[in-house]
A and B are shown apart, each in its own frame.
Chain A
Amino acid sequence: MLTYIVRRILSSVPVLAVVSFVTFWGLRIAYDPLLKFRSARNAATILPIQRKRLGLDQPIVVQWTKWFGKAVRGDLGVSDRTNNAVWGELMHHMGTTMHLVIWGTVVSAIIAISIGIYSAVKQYSVGDYAFTGLSYIGIAMPPFWFALMAIVALVTWPKVHWNLDQPIFYSIGLHGTGRSGVFNLDYYRHLALPVLTLAVQSIASWSRYMRASMLDVLGADYIRAARAKGVPKRRVVLSHALRNALVPLVTVMALDTAFLVGGLIITEKIYSIPGTGSYFLDSLSAGDAPALLGYTLLTAVIVIAANLVADVLYGVLDPRIRLA
């Protein structure tokens, strides 16, 4: 198991190298690292010095190698915009993003799995058809539009209609002014809408997947055998069937990680949450190449790590799979 994980981590290095090189090169073409010196009064004397200092006189491969060598040691350079270390800034924003990632994943997984089980056990019932219809809408709906409609329906409308001082749910940030921590209602009133926005598409597609997987498993011989043993139906579904149906779902959930990270960009913008998605958008509008490069590498590492976790989980959930 351990050798498998180590080998997987090592084999992901080339992918990260290729991705970061392409990004590095592309950003070098798109953004002039010397831009801020060009308008200086003594530009003619400063430019060559700065070019040498930043290593821009060397071939692009050499420049990238130096950058990558530092990056694997946690040094992602300095932001053009804030002059702070990119690594530190990313970690800071990551802390905020993790609230959304953890809640979003947990909420979508629990709801999607519950709906999937219900729809499979009550196949072709009214509830099953209703969830099927909702999932078609959930998959087709642009998440940002869902966010806008959710704000109108759950924030603006109740506030206006019941003439409230404060809305029931908030649509800005993760905490009220002067508040912090996660053990207070204020946090959850802020969290509800962003998490819902992040989760809606995952719930729609994962619940369809869970339904299909569950139906598949419920038809298996070992389910019939478990019933013949006298295991009550509830336990057959929640223990024997669920455990088997979860195996393929885990892979799908991991493959959707890149999608989730993309969803953070939209969610964090709409709800003004200062996470990595906002960091990306701010860096992009400021033309902050080192920050964009750091963001790309970080998301790539996260997606690769999620896939590794999924494969390990796959091995844990299904004893027939041997990781080697």
Chain B
Amino acid sequence: MNNAVDTSLFAPSGPGGGNEAILEVRDLCVGFPSDDGILHAVDNVSFDLRANETMGIVGESGSGKSVTSMAILGLLPKYAKITGSVKFRGEEILGVRDKDLTAIRGAKIAMVFQDALTSLNPVFRVGDQIAEAVSVHRKCDRKELRERSLELLELVGIPNPVARLEQFPHEYSGGMRQRAMIAMAIANEPDILIADEPTTALDVTIQAQVLDVLERIRDRTSSSIMLITHDLGVVAGVADRVLVMYAGRQVEMATVDDLFYRGLHPYAQGLLASLPRLDRRGDSGQLSRIHGQPPSLVFLPPGCAFNPRCPHAQPGVCDQNVPLLREVERDHFSSCIRAEELVAKGSES
């Protein structure tokens, strides 16, 4: 666990970069006490979110992607053990008083949750819930609030917004609820929008519409988006850069193109290979899959957490020390010890 990442790696990227980091996450660890011991939900995660970019965080359930986002906003329960640092525009926001965080939550960093039905308060009108998102951060009168709510509903593409304002969440359809959640999140034009599986509960066509809304909003408000998902297809469509997580650790971080075409970690490669693709029809007609089960977060295997399932694992190498995330190629990070060999292999084929 003491695999502290060399933070200099994330210093403002060199030539060609120039985009300053709006959110800097360093050595973030989150543990939950359980009956069997500490459950390491997030283990030494470090990354930068740059201005006006969309960063995808990918991983299967239990990989720590949602916990990471909740830790950033201080939304985890009190018994969670959190260490590390999260800086928003250079200011530490991890472990500060709840009072100080409320000024940031919703105003500077806003969040869209996976299940819009349970994330909307069932006993309040949608219009009032949107208006509240505005009114907790700035003083305005009823008329202003109503106009702003109306404007937001229009912005996220909800038809007949005047009538919709007066309705309760259970009167909305699934896609509309998610749009209402997004309207609420962008109400104060936040610098960062964290979207935690915003499309998972939706039909494919609605998914596309919601993603479209997110993109439109990013372009309009020039905010940064942290898109948490298990769906690589979603990431390929909208993200600029991708962070791949496995068992609470980050395994690969790269631009979308680098990840998809020059993958440097067997886990991410395995994930990609398991996607159905139209352009590469396999001889067998079968999708490849990653064998085995994700490990228990209480009893992680020694060394690389992925080594028991990894086709490239080398006994005596991969199961010794926890591998660090390192910059293998420019702006392309991998935690695989054998990343260079993977590059060589990739260029061979």
What residues of chain A have their CB less than 8 Å away from a CB belonging to chain B?
220-222, 224-233, 235, 240, 243-244, 247, 317-320
Out of B115, B118, B123, B132, which one reaches A319, CB within 8 Å? Answer: B123
Complex interface: chain A residues within 8 A of B70 (CB):
224
Complex interface: chain B residues within 8 A of A231 (CB):
102, 106, 132, 136
Cα A221 to Cα B75 with chains together (Å): 11
Complex interface: chain A residues within 8 A of B181 (CB):
225
Complex interface: chain B residues within 8 A of A230 (CB):
102-107, 133, 136-137
Closest to A319 in B: B168
Q: Are B168 and A229 in contact (CB under 8 A)?
A: no
Cα A6 to Cα B300 with chains together (Å): 64
The 5 residue pairs across chains A and B that have the minimum distance between CB atoms: A230-B106, A221-B118, A230-B105, A225-B119, A229-B106
Complex interface: chain B residues within 8 A of A228 (CB):
73, 75, 105-106, 110-111, 113
Listed by A's residue number, 13 A-B pairs whose Cβ atoms lie within 8 Å are: A221-B113, A221-B118, A225-B113, A225-B120, A225-B121, A229-B184, A230-B136, A230-B137, A231-B136, A232-B136, A240-B121, A243-B124, A244-B122
B98: Cβ under 8 A from any A Cβ: yes
Q: Are B121 and A244 in contact (CB under 8 A)?
A: yes
Cα A235 to Cα B129 with chains together (Å): 13
Complex interface: chain A residues within 8 A of B113 (CB):
221, 224-225, 228
Closest to B167 in A: A319
Q: Are A229 and B105 in contact (CB under 8 A)?
A: yes
Dominant SS at the B interface? Answer: mixed
Cα A92 to Cα B105 with chains together (Å): 58
Q: Are B122 and A222 in contact (CB under 8 A)?
A: yes
In the complex, given contacts A229-B185, A244-B121, A317-B123, what are 6 additional A-B residue pairs having Cβ atoms less than 8 angstroms apart?
A221-B115, A222-B118, A222-B121, A228-B111, A243-B124, A319-B170
Q: Are B110 and A229 in contact (CB under 8 A)?
A: yes
Q: Are B168 and A320 in contact (CB under 8 A)?
A: yes
Q: Are B121 and A226 in contact (CB under 8 A)?
A: yes
Q: Looking at chain B, what size class is its interface with the partner chain?
A: 20 to 34
Q: C-beta contact mask, B195-210 vs A, less than 8 Å → 1, else 0? A: 0000000000000000
Q: Min CB distance, B253 to chain A, in Å?
A: 25
Closest to B109 in A: A228
B99: Cβ under 8 A from any A Cβ: yes
Closest to A240 in B: B121
Cα A319 to Cα B98 with chains together (Å): 31
Q: Are B120 and A222 in contact (CB under 8 A)?
A: yes
Q: Min CB distance, B44 to chain A, in Å?
A: 25
Q: Are A243 and B123 in contact (CB under 8 A)?
A: yes
Cα A247 to Cα B122 with chains together (Å): 12
Given contacts A227-B75, A230-B105, A230-B136, A319 and B122 within 8 Å (CB-CB):
yes
Given contacts A227-B105, A229-B132, A318 and B123 within 8 Å (CB-CB):
yes
Closest to A229 in B: B106
Complex interface: chain A residues within 8 A of B115 (CB):
221
Complex interface: chain B residues within 8 A of A225 (CB):
111, 113, 119-121, 181
Complex interface: chain B residues within 8 A of A220 (CB):
118
Q: C-beta contact mask, B167-197 vs A, less than 8 Å → 1, else 0? A: 0101000000000010011000000000000
Q: Min CB distance, B12 to chain A, in Å?
A: 29
Closest to B168 in A: A319
Cα A233 to Cα B102 with chains together (Å): 8
Closest to A246 in B: B123
Cα A228 to Cα B136 with chains together (Å): 12
Cα A233 to Cα B105 with chains together (Å): 12
Q: C-beta contact mask, B27-40 vs A, less than 8 Å → 1, else 0? A: 00000000000000
Complex interface: chain B residues within 8 A of A319 (CB):
122-123, 168, 170
Q: Min CB distance, B182 to chain A, in Å?
A: 12
Closest to B115 in A: A221
Cα A235 to Cα B105 with chains together (Å): 14
Complex interface: chain B residues within 8 A of A243 (CB):
121, 123-124
Q: Are B104 and A222 in contact (CB under 8 A)?
A: no
Q: Min CB distance, B269 to chain A, in Å?
A: 34
Complex interface: chain A residues within 8 A of B106 (CB):
228-231
Most A CB contacts (10 A, CB to CB) among B70, B120, B121 go to B121
Complex interface: chain A residues within 8 A of B103 (CB):
230
Q: Are B122 and A232 in contact (CB under 8 A)?
A: no
